[in-house]
Amino acid sequence: MRYDAVVIGSGQGGNPLAFRFADHGWRVALVEQSQVGGTCINWGCTPTKAMVHRAQVARYARDAARWGVRARDVSVDLGAVVEQTQKVVEGFRAGIEKQLGRRPTLRLVRARARLVGPNRVEAGGETLETSRIFLDTGSRPHVPRIPGLEEAGYLTNVEILRVSRLPEHLIVLGGGYVGLEFAQMFRRFGSRVTVIHNGTQLLPREDAEVAAALQAALEEEGISFRLGARTSRVERDSSGVSLSLDGAAERETVRGSDLLVATGRRPNTDALGLETAGVEVDERGYIRVNEKLETTASGIWALGDVKGGPAFTHISYNDFQILYGNLIEGRDLSTEGRIVPYCVFTDPQLGGVGMTEREARAKGKRLKIGRIPMSRVARAVERDETAGMMKIVVDAETDRVLGASILGSEGGELVQILSTLILADRPYTLLKGAIYIHPTLAEGFFALMNDVKPVE
């Protein structure tokens, strides 16, 4: 059967693309081998952030005396948390399925897809023909090759969402976004938690002072860290799991009840038959695309995690906006120079946008830097949540904001104010004269902007 477009993968880029193509009058096939909604709704943003919120509630209840409130016998019913979370997931998924049903020219094909040529896709025993193929197949957990790991067993971000028994001691392998969010979550649920990271700094892209401040906040909650440690072997016995670590100075063994592997992602490209359509991948398996998100093959585009780059839902959605704008609206859009805000949903949150100080220095920029601790923000003091800091990186020649990091309560919300300033190409001084609602966390920008000064 022939279609105007075949979209493979129903994630946060593929779904809106298929919907809008159908609304435009195209006959569209949306191929999905698993649940509609992709990683974000089923195993990523939606369930994890729902559980992060419940972990925060547990923290407030358990530490209520800190705020002068008496609470007794606080415990977490993890089974109830998982059940509530799955209801949220199912609600989002049902919403997508309703959207699918409202479009008569859009067909959902529940099957594994494979390219069998530049213009043909095989799915569920039939061949779908089209002049336009869009790949939104996402990524999955990357599991390192460590002796004994497969035999010992482990959890990934997918399986741990279904765990209804609270781990006594959770070992987290990996100090990135996923690892840190789950580490704090389960610590707040009541588990002992140890994070093992082979780098000497958590979140290696961030400036060292920001990463150190986040680590300090997590350590204050009782999370243990082993940095600069390579896991050489994993074993399991009746008492749990043990990891042999080769550190910079010594070897040690860390023992726990459960193991979460959070060591990055790998693209879902190995079974797509990309070679039949001349689609190239890089050494890690990510699809090579140009700034218009086209691959080297005519009539094939890729969007979302499968093409590499920042693995954020909002990037996938922006990829959809770029493709639809170019193909249907006659606009000339690309990924070049786009401003990407992001957030690590720990508590305090780490919101970031643009360049870090290290990246700006590497480009030879003359800089102005502003930084303040959250203890200088009145609203944070009133809430007794002063962990973290605000930092802004400014081009000394133009006064334009190059980047910012906000580690604090609602850091992800706050950093988007600075993201807008970058998009508008206005100087940081614009915010020095702004009026902020008192008392709000954003009011901290008064002190931050006044702290901006030239640095060597």
Q: For residue 36, count other CB atoms closer than 10 A to its CB.
A: 23
Q: What is the phi/psi pair of residue 243, to 5°?
A: -120, 130
Give the integer Cα–Cα distance in Å for 57 and 296: 49
The SS3 call for residue 118 is coil
**Positive/negative CA dihedral, 178, 184, 190, 194:** positive
**Positive/negative CA dihedral, 421, 425, 204, 372:** negative
Are 64 and 57 in contact, with CB atoms under 8 Å apart? no
Q: If we measure between CA atoms, which residue out of 216, 260, 28, 1 comes closest to residue 136? A: 28
Are 46 and 92 in contact, with CB atoms under 8 Å apart? yes
- State in Å, rounded, how far the first CA of the chain is from the last one: 64
Q: What is the phi/psi pair of residue 310, to 5°?
A: -60, 125
Q: Please, what is the angle between helix 45-62 and helix 177-189, to 10°?
A: 40
Give the integer Cα–Cα distance in Å for 388 and 215: 10
Give the integer Cα–Cα distance in Å for 405 and 411: 8
438 is catalytic: yes
The SS3 call for residue 415 is helix
- Active-site option among 53, 142, 314, 438: 438
Are 240 and 255 in contact, with CB atoms under 8 Å apart? yes
Half-sphere exposure of 241 (CA within 13 A, CB side): 26
The CB-based long-range contact list for 448-454 (8 Å cut-off, 24+ gap) reads: 448/370, 448/371, 448/372, 448/390, 448/392, 449/370, 449/392, 450/370, 451/370, 451/371, 451/372, 452/368, 452/369, 452/370, 452/392, 452/394, 452/428, 453/368, 453/369, 453/370, 454/366, 454/367, 454/368, 454/396
Report residue 47 as tokens: 């369930």
Residues with a known catalytic role: 438
